[in-house]
């Protein structure tokens, strides 16, 4: 299968460069969607589904081979980021301040490559394959939109597989992880309310600023002292707002941040501990507090059986040594989690994109390597051929 995918490298690279040149932000992927539709329409046997989507594209390929009538969805995200590109590439972004810095141009090109392979080999698999070109992953919005538009119904999806490039693995390899793979993402805002005062006479007020300082330091004690050390959790305070002069103690200070972890039950535990701790510190300083904690995206929990089947299919096309089991999960998050909650089984895999000098995702000099395109396409296409028979 890798050879077949390699024959499409020019097509996939050209497609990726086009998408890279014309990146669009989350929920604005109109041109990107139009381009993808146009590419799919040129393939035989690819049906573009008519769903109420703002942006994004869903297509279906029905197998003509014998076997079970399974339905598998393959997902690629298509949105870009608000970053001014600094790669200097010939296909550098033509849209000021917008860039494909997370490799979604690569994911979309891979899925178009898969569409070409599978549409020309319909007699080799049974059932149906849905191709999900999902918008707005960066805002963790698109998966919900697609599910609400009915992408998982008619016919109902049994299994879903998603791809994302990662520099944890070299080009040519993929990384897999069974179980809790990507973290849940919650966000919180804390308001500390005191009484404002002249900076020279703090005893006449109630110092919200000092209280905030104690809270910021103490909150780290939740993860390090109150959570089992073998759990994976992180609490980061990323923004603080308060005061507007060097000599006035403000009456109120606000700070916000995020909690990520890999254990669904811990989310509420951490929230409650934060509330207790902030409340105690505020009370100690005669201030009051308000914690707004928003339970956001759940974690991506990869189904073990799907991971094993994907590993098997990948070994057949890439060779044993190019399929690695990742030693640890990721603290980043993905709205792919929502599909996994709505479909009986599925997983995300990490496509190796690390060259000799790997560049971090979400930076101005990132570029998805073309050599990884056939690898991703081969894995997805062979997963279908191996499981739909």
Strands of the sheet with 184-193, listed across from one edge = 233-242, 252-261, 184-193, 288-297
> Applying CB under 5 A, which residues contact Zn ion?
102
What is the C-alpha to C-alpha distance for residues 367 and 381, in angstroms, rounded to an integer? Answer: 24
Q: Which is nearer to Zn ion, 162 or 180 (CB)?
A: 162
Q: Which is nearer to Zn ion, 29 or 207 (CB)?
A: 29
Q: Which is nearer to Zn ion, 135 or 250 (CB)?
A: 135
> What is the DSSP code string of 122-136?
GGG--SEEEEEEE--
| Min dist. Cβ of residue 313 to Zn ion (A) | 23
Phi and psi, residue 12, nearest 5°:
-70, -40
| Min dist. Cβ of residue 389 to Zn ion (A) | 31
What percent of the residues of the chain are helix, what percent strand, and what percent coil, each to the nearest 5? 35, 30, 35
Phi and psi, residue 61, nearest 5°:
-125, 120
| Min dist. Cβ of residue 193 to Zn ion (A) | 36
What is the C-alpha to C-alpha distance for residues 82 and 1, in angstroms, rounded to an integer? Answer: 36
| Min dist. Cβ of residue 121 to Zn ion (A) | 28
Instruction: From residue 255, give the alpha-carbon distance in Å to each of 179, 213, 225, 236.
Output: 33, 10, 22, 11
Check if the beta carbon of residue 353 is closer than 8 Å to that of residue 103. yes
| Min dist. Cβ of residue 134 to Zn ion (A) | 11
| Min dist. Cβ of residue 92 to Zn ion (A) | 19
Q: Which is nearer to Zn ion, 57 or 102 (CB)?
A: 102
What is the C-alpha to C-alpha distance for residues 25 and 139, in angstroms, rounded to an integer? Answer: 10
Q: Which is nearer to Zn ion, 140 or 227 (CB)?
A: 140
Query: Which residue's beta carbon is nearest to the bound Zn ion?
Result: 102
Q: Which is nearer to Zn ion, 137 or 186 (CB)?
A: 137
Length of the chain: 389
């Amino acid at each position: 299968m890798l050879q077949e995918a390699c024959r499409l490298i020019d097509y996939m690279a050209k497609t990726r460069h086009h998408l890279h040149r014309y990146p669009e932000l989350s929920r604005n992927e109109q041109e990107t969607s139009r381009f993808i539709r146009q590419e799919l329409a040129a393939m035989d046997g690819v049906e573009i589904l008519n769903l109420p989507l703002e942006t994004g594209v869903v297509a279906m390929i029905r197998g003509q081979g014998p076997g079970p009538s399974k339905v598998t969805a393959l997902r690629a995200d298509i949105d870009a980021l608000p970053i001014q590109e600094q790669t200097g590439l010939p296909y550098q972004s033509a849209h000021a301040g917008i860039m494909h810095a997370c490799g979604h141009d690569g994911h979309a090109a891979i899925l178009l490559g898969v569409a070409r392979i599978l549409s020309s080999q319909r007699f080799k698999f049974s059932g149906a394959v849905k191709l999900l070109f999902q918008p707005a992953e960066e805002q963790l919005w698109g998966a919900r939109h697609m599910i609400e538009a009915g992408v998982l119904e008619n016919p109902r999806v049994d299994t879903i597989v998603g791809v994302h490039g990662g520099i944890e693995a070299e080009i040519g390899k993929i990384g897999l992880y069974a179980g809790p793979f990507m973290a849940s993402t919650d966000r919180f805002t804390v308001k500390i309310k005191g009484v404002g005062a002249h900076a020279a006479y703090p005893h006449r007020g109630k110092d919200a600023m000092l209280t905030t300082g104690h809270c910021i330091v103490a909150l780290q004690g939740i993860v390090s002292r109150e959570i089992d050390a073998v759990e994976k959790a992180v609490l980061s305070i990323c923004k603080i707002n308060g005061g507007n002069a060097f000599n006035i103690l403000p009456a109120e200070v606000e700070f916000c941040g995020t909690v990520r972890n890999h254990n669904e039950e811990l989310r509420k535990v951490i929230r409650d501990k934060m509330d207790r701790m902030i409340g105690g510190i505020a009370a100690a300083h005669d201030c009051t507090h308000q914690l707004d904690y928003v339970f956001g995206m759940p974690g991506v929990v990869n189904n073990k059986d799907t991971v094993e089947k994907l590993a098997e299919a990948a070994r057949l096309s890439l060779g044993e040594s190019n399929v690695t089991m990742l030693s640890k999960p990721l603290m980043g998050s993905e709205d792919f989690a929502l599909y996994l909650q709505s479909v009986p089984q599925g997983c995300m895999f990490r496509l190796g994109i690390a060259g000799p000098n790997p560049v971090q995702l979400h930076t101005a000099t990132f570029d998805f390597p073309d050599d990884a395109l056939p690898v991703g396409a081969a894995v997805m296409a062979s997963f279908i051929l191996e499981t739909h028979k």
